[in-house]
Structure formats: structure tokens, C-alpha cells
Amino acid sequence: MAEIHTPYSSLKKLLSLLNGFVAVSGIILVSLGIGGKYGGASLTNVLGLSSAYLLHTGNLCLVMGCIAVLLGCAGWYGATKESRGMLLFCILSMVIVLIMEVTAATVVLLFFPIVRDVALEHTFVTLRKNYRGYNEPDDYSTQWNLVMEKGLSKYFFSSL
């Protein structure tokens, strides 16, 4: 039997599609988090142990990706089964996540110049202290030369 095309059925399909996009973006965040978490050892080798705080970005991507996948699947289920409670839960959860993201982005943009200056100064101090030369066999010089020859994007994503 053919489905009756009403505005309600179009809205149901639109909600399913949008929740599919949320789930796919969550999967992308999870994959970025895994890449950052397990590819971060090379970053720590180059910048030193005090740059390990950058590895927390991988954990953040993993958590946010898992939340996005769960919300996408719950929203899709709520749209498919026409469950008002599930849709209300998903919408409220997404609004809370959106408010948290806007707040975090505001704080990051507010303190970005300060953090950038501190991070650059720390990186330059570490580089001056540990870099020995172009053809030196130590780990730090070899890793830094590899980054400079290949470029950052090729260096970090070469293992993927």
C-alpha cells in the first residue's frame, strides 16, 4: 500500500535525515578522536612531554562523537516511532550541547591570543633546548626534521 504524502510524513523523513547527519558527524568525531589519541605520541615526541595536554583533544572528540551518535540514533528512533518523549529528549539534549559548544567557543576565542602566545613560547623554548641539528641521530631532531620535510598534515596523517 502506498504511503500518503502529507506534510507530517515529509517532516518525519526530514527529521530522520537530519538525525542521520548528526550520527554521521558523530562517527567522524569519533574517528578524529581515535586518530588524535593514538597519533598523539608523535606529537609528544616532537614538542616534549609538557605538550601532552594537547592529547586531551582526542578524548574530547571521542566523548562528543559518542554523544552525537547516541543523540542521532535516539532522534532517528523517536522520529521513526513517532515518540514525543524521545524527540523531546533529543531536542533538549541537542539544545544543551549547542549551548555548551557556544560557551566553549566564546571562552576559547576570548583567551586565544593569550594561549597562542604561551604555546608558541613554550614550543620555541623546547625546540631551542632539544634540537641538535639537521643530520643528528637523536629522536627529537629526527622527528622535527620529518615534520619540516613532509609538512604537518602529511606527518600526522601518514599513519592513517
Query: For the chain, how big is the Rg over CA atoms in Å?
Result: 22
pLDDT at 54: 64
Closest CA to 75 of 92, 51, 56, 97: 92
Task: Give the separation between CA 140 and CA 143, rounded to whole angstroms.
Answer: 5
Quote the pTM value: 0.62
In this predicted structure, what is the pLDDT of residue 28? 92
The rounded mean pLDDT for the chain is 77
